Amino acid sequence: MIGKLPLNFMLKYVYPRIGHIDPSVIVGPSVGEDAAIIDLGDGRVLVVHNDAITGAVKSLGWLAVHIVSNDIAVRGARPRWFLMSLFLPEEDFESAVDEIMGQVDRAAKELGLMVIGGHTEITSGIDRPIIGTTALGLTRRDGYVTTSGARIGDYIIVTKGVGIEGTAIICTDFADHLRKRGIDESIISCGARFLDMVSVVNEAILLAENGLATAMHDPTEAGLLGGLAELAYASKKTIEAYEDSIPMFKETAIVTSALNVDPLRLISSGALVATIPPDKVSRALKILGDEGVEARIIGRVREFNGNLVEIRRLDGRIEVIREAYFPDEIFRLWERVRLEEIQ
Over 80: is that where the pLDDT of 220 sits? yes
Q: What is the pLDDT of residue 173?
A: 87
> Taking the alpha carbons of 187, 188, 191, 192 in that order, is the dihedral positive or negative?
negative
Q: Which tops the pLDDT comparison, 5 or 213?
A: 213
Q: Do domains 22-140 and 147-342 have the same CATH topology?
A: no
Mean residue pLDDT across the chain: 94
Taking residue 226's Cβ as centre, other Cβ atoms within 10 Å add up to 30
Could you tell me the CATH superfamily of domain 147-342? PurM-like C-terminal domain (3.90.650.10)
Whether pTM > 0.85 for this model: the answer is yes
Over 90: is that where the pLDDT of 331 sits? no
Q: What is the pLDDT of residue 315?
A: 94
DSSP helix/strand/coil, 337: helix
Q: What is the pLDDT of residue 2?
A: 67
Q: How far apart are the first and last CA of the chain?
A: 20
pLDDT in tens, 36-94: 999 999 999 999 999 998 756 678 999 899 999 999 999 999 999 999 999 999 988 99
Q: In whole angstroms, give the CA distance from residue 75 to residue 35.
A: 7
pLDDT in tens, 121-165: 999 988 889 999 999 999 999 999 999 999 999 999 999 999 999
Q: Contact, 289 vs 295, CB < 8 A?
A: yes
Q: What is the pLDDT of residue 50?
A: 95
> Taking the alpha carbons of 236, 242, 243, 246 in that order, is the dihedral positive or negative?
negative
Q: What is the pLDDT of residue 58?
A: 76
**Residues 22-140, CATH architecture:** 2-Layer Sandwich (3.30)
The domain limits of the chain are: 22-140, 147-342
pLDDT band (50, 70, 90) for residue 340: confident
Q: In whole angstroms, give the CA distance from residue 220 to residue 49.
A: 14
Q: What is the pLDDT of residue 342?
A: 42
